[in-house]
Structure 1
């Protein structure tokens, strides 16, 4: 056989093999087409839901607004709702784009955004987002970054406030001084604004805060009820409609600011603040300020409490003193309690008050239902003696919740007698429903079996008991 004939024979064999494989592949290809046809005919249950149900599910996937004290990633993000829904399928994209409430909240982290978006594009991103919200009330928050050396996004923030002022219901700005400089000439109005939070953790050392004193940007907000100033921000930086406020938080304010809020926010119900040491300039020692509606006062660390001597709070129900407040002289504070605490129902102190006396509660706070303290052994021994209803039935007769924080004390017979006496009540007294002894971090105490059994006996009688570190009870 010649060489050419041999090649032709081998080619014929390969062709025959290919034909044979085609014959074997045809049934598989037919089967594949049939299976694909069956798969294509299946309608996924989620795709059959009515649009309004799918829309409701989308709304429940939204993350809660981030806290100012904790960092959060850039938003909007394609890995989170609602932008995530735009990438799944055309139907979900249409539903998401036609659900205005999905686009009513926008939270931006400028530190993350500056690596992804050119500054001149920030405004377009914000406008596209809020443009999908239609007429919905809007929530807008912006966070800067430590060491911020330029007002990245200031023009976009200013444009957003100006464009959507009629719809903004909540505003939270944690920025540097230059950002607020960009909006100093804008005064609203903000007819829907109910909550405003301002933080200034990145002040411009050269400009300082003087440029922000009494800035009128948010002065025309007739429905503003919640106001918060944290970090370096203070109430004197902005003008506010005090007569509508019901809740105010100030991490740092002057004694005059503190008293001005008490005086002008006549419908204020909750006030959380730290008052800086300083002299009173706008108020004299004879100015008596009465706030008829305040029911909750929370004194933050470093609070300069002597300004309390001018206050009268006849409706005060809840008073909390944070850890970090050191009482050198309690005369003014005791006088404040004597004047304002007839209606007090809850008192808590996360710091040790060295001059605290048990008869404080009998004289100044007889109506307490909740008490939380951080005190030493001598105080506790006297307190439990007075708490025994069999011996002192008139001492804190309405007490329902008792907590001792950062305390490790030995369990004594007077203590059990006092707690046991509080497991029954009559028409004039209440049952002590909760007792907690929170140990200091890193401390540990062994509870004897008999002691633990006695506490469990109180539990069986209906009292909630927690003894141990904050995250675990030993009972």
Structure 2
């Protein structure tokens, strides 16, 4: 009996140990599972922490440097916006200097993009310490270095008189940039630069204005012209404005091909044409006529643009352009006998004519004319012109004509004469007409076009069969399109 009892107790003890062992094995397994779970949570937290503390990632920073540089260049202010244009170089709120402040990568890339540093525009009228000697020297050195070998342009405006040493400022400026300049626009006080002389080996375009000078400052320039720009071997384009005149500057006139000027006298026009025999294009405005002008025969002139002319019309008596191809006349009395004779001198060479009006007699002689644009023609003139354009009846009238645009017209009744004239321009030996536009003055907006029956469909048929552009009525989208095209 005693043996049986001992055996029972031993068996009971072994079973209990196994139960305890199983229990602890189970607890160990559960704790290990929790450890694995916690380790996974720790890894996820570490990843999240790294993503939160890592530098921000922007897709734009992954673009190639070449594309970013191109984008930077398009960030530069539009030169046509005057409010930004003259202050853009030193304005830290605009490109290029704004780009230096975004991040270190953009700064490095902007500094290494030469096209960002080609336009140097300074405004003396803007209060700043920029023109102090040390700052100016450092600024110009950095700017020129960043531009690399790319040609530069300089716009300088305002009165330097308020600066402590205006001549020092201009001397420092030109010493740094004159060898690099391809374009220069200078409208400032002449007494700080008329005694200076520099070499401009790359300069092709020069603009000079006297808007910040008194009459007494300019009085002696006729006898002692400014020599600052006499060393400009590549100069091709010259723009004189705000009272600047040809006799006031010593330039390499014989190389000029383009001249633009305002506020000229007739004598200024003649002087410029005599000084620059290679001119191919000349634009003059607000011309004040003078008597007793010498005759000028200018064989190289291809395009002449004159506007706001005050009579008497003696200038037109003096000028002869035997090879002229494009003539633009604004606010000029084309009925004046001198103007009619002027036009007749090159009628056989003219390709494009833009004017307020012109006589039909003058048009008869223009056998090579391809483009005719007139502003404010009378209704009678338009009627006569359409009759003459009918090639069936007048085969020799403007045989090469391709574009006709009549702007600022009065509304008119449209009849078959228009269709017959345009249709005839698609037949025969002459060049086909590509465009006919009769634009009514904007004040007639709201008036409907008065068509004869079938006119609209006939014009549409012309467009579909020949591609001819035709339009009659108020401006479709731009009231001044014909002005910008040359009138």
Regarding TM over 0.5, the answer is: yes
Secondary structure, counterpart of 1:467 in structure 2 = strand
Tell me if the contact between 1:187 and 1:216 (Cα under 8 Å) persists in the aligned partners.
Answer: yes
Change (3 A) 1:256 1:136: same
Cα distance in 2 for partners of 1:99, 1:261 equals 40
Aligned residue among 380, 394, 397 for 1:395:
397
* Cross-structure match for 1:435: 436
Tell me if the contact between 1:347 and 1:371 (Cα under 8 Å) persists in the aligned partners.
Answer: yes
Secondary structure, counterpart of 1:86 in structure 2 = helix
* Cross-structure match for 2:408: 406
* Cross-structure match for 2:420: 417
CA root-mean-square deviation: 3.0
Tell me if the contact between 1:200 and 1:233 (Cα under 8 Å) persists in the aligned partners.
Answer: yes
Change (3 A) 1:201 1:438: farther
1:237-276 to structure 2, matched below 5 A, reads 237-274=248-285, 275-276=287-288
1:13-412 to structure 2, matched below 5 A, reads 34-38=47-51, 40=54, 44-66=58-80, 72=85, 74-76=87-89, 77-111=91-125, 113-114=126-127, 116-117=128-129, 119-120=131-132, 123-124=136-137, 125-144=139-158, 150=162, 154-155=166-167, 156-175=169-188, 179-204=189-214, 207-213=216-222, 214-274=225-285, 275-280=287-292, 283-284=293-294, 287=295, 289-302=296-309, 305-322=313-330, 324-327=331-334, 330-349=336-355, 351=356, 353=357, 356-363=358-365, 365-374=366-375, 375-410=377-412, 411-412=414-415
Tell me if the contact between 2:257 and 2:278 (Cα under 8 Å) persists in the aligned partners.
Answer: yes
Tell me if the contact between 1:104 and 1:137 (Cα under 8 Å) persists in the aligned partners.
Answer: yes
Secondary structure, counterpart of 2:419 in structure 1 = helix
Cα distance in 1 for partners of 2:77, 2:230 equals 30
Cα distance in 1 for partners of 2:264, 2:270 equals 10
Unmatched tracts of structure 2, length 5 or more: 1-39, 480-487
**Greater gyration radius:** 2
Alignment length, in residue pairs? 425
Secondary structure, counterpart of 2:477 in structure 1 = coil
Q: CA deviation at 1:208?
A: 4.7
Cα distance in 1 for partners of 2:165, 2:122 equals 10
Q: CA deviation at 1:220?
A: 1.4
TM-score, length-normalised on structure 1? 0.80
Change (3 A) 1:55 1:194: same
Report the structure, 1 or 2, having the larger helix content: 2
Tell me if the contact between 2:190 and 2:210 (Cα under 8 Å) persists in the aligned partners.
Answer: no
Secondary structure, counterpart of 1:227 in structure 2 = strand
Tell me if the contact between 2:210 and 2:241 (Cα under 8 Å) persists in the aligned partners.
Answer: yes
CA offset digits 1:252-308 (Å, max 9, x no partner): 22223212322332221110013322234xx54xx4x32222111001212554223
Unmatched tracts of structure 1, length 5 or more: 1-26
Secondary structure, counterpart of 1:189 in structure 2 = coil
CA offset digits 1:159-182 (Å, max 9, x no partner): 21233211111101233xxx2210
Tell me if the contact between 2:131 and 2:163 (Cα under 8 Å) persists in the aligned partners.
Answer: no
TM-score, length-normalised on structure 2? 0.78
Cα distance in 2 for partners of 1:440, 1:71 equals 34
